[in-house]
Structure 1
Amino acid sequence: MKKLLRPFYRSNSQNKKSSNSQTDNVESFLLIEGNFAPADAAEVLLSLLNDKIKFHTVQLLNLKDTNKIDSLNSENRINYLKQAKGRMTEIILDAQSQGEQLKIHSTIEITKAS
């Protein structure tokens, strides 16, 4: 498996592009970067998606009777993640059948919510 988390950290003070106060506290982390064999790409991407689906499913079960709006948001998120998982699976299978590798780049940005 390739690099999942190489040392990379960028606070907005290092990123000269932003000037608005909402993005002044953005911190970025390079989570996934590199070329992957289809099997490795599947392991990395699908496990991440499965964890997110599981998280929202648990949230949904906890919210089902208490908060209709939040439960609808979790349902929508689960549906989106399942569609993304299906599409990523298609891309991975296509690369595998063509004998190709996949280049993956994923950055996580964190900002304090107000």
Structure 2
Amino acid sequence: MQELQIDLIDGNFTASDAMEIITSVLDKKMNFHKLQRLAKTERDHADPCTFENERIAALQSEKDKAISFLGPMIKGSETLSIKSEIKINKN
């Protein structure tokens, strides 16, 4: 098996910067699934797009959690550590 690891986010950030980074990544991923859903429904109007709808809802839930967690910290001066890795495996 082959594997690739990408260090996507690794550093210390203000709460405001952390909010911008996290919400931007989640928005981009939600937009990806929305485009996939649009492409499916253009091919087949009856396609329920179950996976895409569930994934969009799950990502929105994660975004809401991030906003709830980071929002109260924005007015403070503390820094936050964020580390995010992407692992890609070839089976």
Specify the TM-score bucket, using the shorter chain as the normaliser. Answer: 0.7 to 0.9
Match for residue 90 of structure 1?
Answer: 68
Match for residue 85 of structure 2?
Answer: 107
Q: CA deviation at 1:34?
A: 1.1
C-alpha distance in 1 between matches for 2:45 and 2:62: 28
Matched residue pairs, number?
89
C-alpha distance in 2 between matches for 1:109 and 1:96: 30
Secondary structure of the equivalent of 2:83? strand
Give me the CA root mean square deviation: 1.9
Of Structure 1 and Structure 2, the greater strand share is in 2
Match for residue 29 of structure 2?
Answer: 52
Higher relative contact order (CA 8 A, sep 6+): 2
* Higher-Rg member (1/2): 1
C-alpha distance in 2 between matches for 1:29 and 1:84: 21
C-alpha distance in 2 between matches for 1:39 and 1:58: 28
C-alpha distance in 1 between matches for 2:62 and 2:84: 15
CA 1:41/1:25 → structure 2, altered by over 3 Å: closer, same or farther?
A: same
Identity of aligned residues (%): 30
Length-normalised TM-score, structure 2:
0.84
In structure 2, the gaps of 5 or more residues are: none
Q: Which amino acid aligns with 2:56?
A: I
In structure 1, the gaps of 5 or more residues are: 1-23
Secondary structure of the equivalent of 2:90? coil
Check the 8 A contact 1:95/1:102 in 2, yes or no.
no
Match for residue 61 of structure 1?
Answer: 38
Q: CA deviation at 1:29?
A: 1.1
Match for residue 76 of structure 1?
Answer: 54
C-alpha distance in 2 between matches for 1:54 and 1:67: 21
C-alpha distance in 2 between matches for 1:84 and 1:110: 22
